[in-house]
Amino acid sequence: MSSENSKMMLEKIEEKDRRLIEKMIKPGEVVLSIAKGDLSEKGEYSEYFLIVTNERVLKIDAKDNEESRNIELGKITQVVFNDYLGNSELVLVVEGKEIPIARFSRDRIEEFRHVAGVVNALIQYKDPREIEFRTRESNVKSKKNAIIWLMSYLKPHWYLVATGLALSVLITALSLIPPSLLRTLIDQIATQKQESTLLNLTILLISIYAVNTLFGVIQNYSLSLLSQKLVYSMRKDLYAHLQSLSMSFYDKMSTGRVISRITDDIGRVQWFLVWGIPSLLINVLLIIGIGIIIFTMDYRLSFFALLPFPLIIIGLPKFRSKARLVYHKAWRKWADVSSFLVDTIPGISVVKSFAKEKSESARFVEKMNEVVKANIDITKLHLGFFPILGFVSSAGAAIVWYIGGLHVISGDISPGTLVAFVSYMWMFYGPIQTVTNLAEPLQQAITSGERILEILMIDPTIKDDPDAKDFEIMGDIKFENVTFGYEPYIPVLKNINLEIKKGEMVGVVGQSGSGKTTLTKLLLRFYDVNEGRILIDGVDIRKIKLERLRKSIGIVAQDPFLFDNSVLFNIAYGLEEVDLKKVIAAAKAANIHETIMNLPLAYDSPVGERGSRLSGGERQRIAIARAIILEPKILIMDEATSSVDTLAEKQIQQALDNISKERTTIVIAHRLSTLQRADKIVVMDKGRIVEEGTHEELLKRDGLYAKIYKAQFMGAEKQVALA
């Protein structure tokens, strides 16, 4: 396999699996996507690989090490996903016939989505070489773009860059003087006993070191200032871009990986730009300057000093090509650790309540073992290159001593010249070693730059249409033939048709997973529908300014997120400027003002991380106050009473009665008692609307709503009777 893309794909999997796949791939065949499945077509546990090449789709049984499916790309016309309970199935339509090719758990869905995307692209392009070309072009372009992007951050601070580089040149020039003075010391002062010359030489050396120290201080300050400015600019730009990205991005990218980009990757880039580049410049200048000096002193000895060069020229490119893949793997493993910590530390109460401390520690150790293994691979890579380079350098120095010693004995050169030459030679090897060592942070910086740029190059899927309107929303809502799936091949909502008039209270009920919350996410335009459209006041929401749309809709979730700040900050979050009168009015409407006033610092009281210092009912009512402070025309209550006690539910219900007047209100609830006063109730099941009507009408139909109602209230009556 000659394709660079194939190598990159195969480097990501275990060595034994890589050998198996390489054995099955024909010469010249290009691997475009690999997914590892964990279920057989009957739904039993099984391990296999599904591979897409530029010629075919291949399925390899990992246990029997043999090919079980082989389908030519030219015969495939469509890719279909079938969604089951806890697992999914990938089906290829081949010459009009559906062929189940892979079954897998939800954990593997990302891998198989990539496979499906590649096959679809190959069907679209017709010529299999097109997608390989695009992938290869993308890899080259990303590396080039990463370097250009990194350099672009230096441009606004050119004066600091110029100061640092100028001082680097001066420091380099001054550092080349002492060995020359050493030759004078040996050949003239030591042999001719000139004390005055020795004094002058000493003063000159001290002056050189003093000036060099001063230049070093100024350089360090300039570069430190540049460092802070770069980190500030990069993190500001990256964070602003992350805020603009759509929810679909956060569905696919874990929090730990995002944080890793902002912290670790920018830190690596900043180090190289600020300290790595000046170091690289100084050492390159040293190599050039010292090279000129030693060739001038004795060109014969200079050839022996150049012994390490062939190894550097041949070995360094090979080292860098391998290093890129190894570093990517190591950072993915570390990002997995970050994601694990972001997941488990905030959830420490759940861990402790299930006595899972030892289990979580074991999971952490398992992930850290993966990090250690990846870092050991980096160490092995280094040990295969740098020790050999060091040995060749030392051997070259020994040969120079021997040849130079013969020249001194024969009188061709003076002892001072040999000592100065050897000093310059070691100064020559030092920068070579430094430049080769910089290959690692350089590769790290470029790889980190690619990882950051990977996010910066993602366009938000949800953004304002060029013709988007900004108008006062009144609250009429209409869903027309809406179909949507978080995964393109797995619809969550199917052909939804629903009309909600301005000022109506509409309840939405259904079992978990029926698509209730997804309705609200589409209304807020966190996602765009796959089919159909959603209208507000007769306008497709894709034609409404996003800021206007979202500020016109207030939402209170089942588990509201509160920021680790004061009560005032959380309620006033939607305001451009804090207006205490509006905050208090919203708190009173949400039936939480008196509770807040009883807190130690009233509205200035901290709520804790995610509102941990408040009860569930208090968090809900603060979230209600936050939702209504902008006076939205549409209010969504997404199971806001499902996780609170009866008293808190009553208080929330009173708040809901206060704020739902003259607003279009959508109430998603499991507890049907909260919906009996709704103007209309919508019943959902498996992504479809199956019933619609008032509470009394739905009970008379004796359908799904009636069954849910009876299950809840008969259960409640039995509990009262038992009491």
Pick one of 2.130.10.10, 3.40.50.2300, 3.10.580.10, 2.30.29.30 as the CATH number of 4-145: 2.30.29.30
DSSP string over 27-53: TT--EEEEEEEEE-TTS-EEEEEEEEE
Q: The tokens 């009473």 sit on which residue?
A: 641
Name residue 693's beta-bridge partners: 681
Do 4-145 and 464-548+671-723 agree at the fold level? no
Q: What is the pLDDT of residue 642?
A: 54
Residue 157: what residue type? Answer: H
Q: Which residues of 671-710 are buried (b: 16+ CB within 10 A; e: fewer)?
A: ebebbeebebbbbbbebbbebbbbbeebeeeeebbeebbe
pLDDT category, 134, cuts 50, 70, 90? very low
Q: Where are the beta strands (DSSP E) in 486-589?
A: 493-500, 505-510, 531-536, 539-540, 553-556
In angstroms, rounded to a whole number, what is the distance separating the alpha carbons of residues 443 and 441?
Answer: 5
Residue 77: what residue type? Answer: T
- Asked if 278 and 219 touch (Cβ cutoff 8 Å), the reply is yes
Backbone φ and ψ for 665, nearest 5 degrees, come out as -120, 130
Q: What is the pLDDT of residue 141?
A: 40
pLDDT, tens digit, for every residue of 302-360? 777 776 677 666 776 677 667 767 777 777 777 777 777 767 776 676 676 667 778 78
- Asked if 208 and 259 touch (Cβ cutoff 8 Å), the reply is no
Q: What is the pLDDT of residue 138?
A: 39
Task: Tell me the C-alpha to C-alpha distance, in Å, between residue 249 and each of 266, 487, 723.
Answer: 20, 12, 50
Residue 658: what residue type? Answer: N
Provide the CATH number for the domain formed by 153-322+389-456 in this structure.
1.20.1560.10
pLDDT category, 631, cuts 50, 70, 90? confident
pLDDT category, 137, cuts 50, 70, 90? very low
- Asked if 589 and 655 touch (Cβ cutoff 8 Å), the reply is yes
In angstroms, rounded to a whole number, what is the distance separating the alpha carbons of residues 620 and 641?
Answer: 8
Higher pLDDT, 663 or 150: 663
pLDDT category, 196, cuts 50, 70, 90? low
Using DSSP, how many helices (H) and how many strands (E) does the chain show? 28, 17
pLDDT category, 198, cuts 50, 70, 90? confident
Instruction: State yes or no: pLDDT of 167 exceeds 50.
Output: yes
pLDDT category, 129, cuts 50, 70, 90? very low
Regarding beta strands 87-94 and 76-84, do their DSSP bridges make them parallel or antiparallel, or are they unpaired?
antiparallel
- Asked if 451 and 331 touch (Cβ cutoff 8 Å), the reply is yes
Q: How far is CA 603 from the centre of its chain?
A: 36
In angstroms, rounded to a whole number, what is the distance separating the alpha carbons of residues 567 and 89?
Answer: 47
In angstroms, rounded to a whole number, what is the distance separating the alpha carbons of residues 57 and 75?
Answer: 10
Structure tokens at 283: 């050492």
In angstroms, rounded to a whole number, what is the distance separating the alpha carbons of residues 499 and 502?
Answer: 10
Q: Where are the beta strands (DSSP E) in 274-395?
A: none
Q: What is the pLDDT of residue 195?
A: 65
In angstroms, rounded to a whole number, what is the distance separating the alpha carbons of residues 558 and 225?
Answer: 46
Higher pLDDT, 143 or 436: 436
Q: Of the ranges 423-432, 466-475, 633-642, which is most confident?
A: 466-475
Residues 6+ apart with CB under 8 A from 487: 81, 109, 113
DSSP summary character for residue 26 = P
Regarding beta strands 56-61 and 493-500, do their DSSP bridges make them parallel or antiparallel, or are they unpaired?
unpaired
DSSP summary character for residue 101 = E
- Radius of gyration, alpha carbons of the chain: 35
In angstroms, rounded to a whole number, what is the distance separating the alpha carbons of residues 384 and 537?
Answer: 68
Structure tokens at 427: 């100064």
In angstroms, rounded to a whole number, what is the distance separating the alpha carbons of residues 227 and 230?
Answer: 5
Selection from 162, 699, 239, 622 nearest residue 455 by Cα: 239
Instruction: State yes or no: pLDDT of 5 exceeds 60.
Output: no
DSSP string over 652-720: HHHHHHHH-TTSEEEEE-S-GGGGTT-SEEEEEETTEEEEEE-HHHHHHHTSHHHHHHHHHHHHHHHHH
DSSP summary character for residue 464 = -
pLDDT category, 99, cuts 50, 70, 90? confident
Q: What is the pLDDT of residue 620?
A: 79
Residues 6+ apart with CB under 8 A from 604: 566, 567, 568
Instruction: State yes or no: pLDDT of 431 exceeds 70.
Output: yes
pLDDT, tens digit, for every residue of 479-537? 888 888 776 656 788 888 888 888 888 888 887 777 888 888 888 888 888 888 888 88
Outline where 412-544 has alpha helix (H).
415-437, 439-456, 516-523
Selection from 589, 517, 295 nearest residue 424 by Cα: 295
Question: pLDDT above 70 covers what percent of the chain?
Answer: 81
Instruction: State yes or no: pLDDT of 96 exceeds 50.
Output: yes
Selection from 686, 652, 675 nearest residue 558 by Cα: 652
Q: What is the pLDDT of residue 49?
A: 84
Q: What is the pLDDT of residue 721?
A: 41
Instruction: State yes or no: pLDDT of 700 exceeds 60.
Output: yes
The size of the chain, in residues, is 723
Domain boundaries, the chain: 4-145, 153-322+389-456, 464-548+671-723
Structure tokens at 12: 């990501």
In angstroms, rounded to a whole number, what is the distance separating the alpha carbons of residues 705 and 103?
Answer: 35
Nearest-10 Cα torsion for 498, 504, 510, 513 = 70
In angstroms, rounded to a whole number, what is the distance separating the alpha carbons of residues 692 and 680?
Answer: 7
Check: pTM over 0.75? Answer yes or no.
Answer: no
Fold annotation for 464-548+671-723? Rossmann fold (3.40.50)
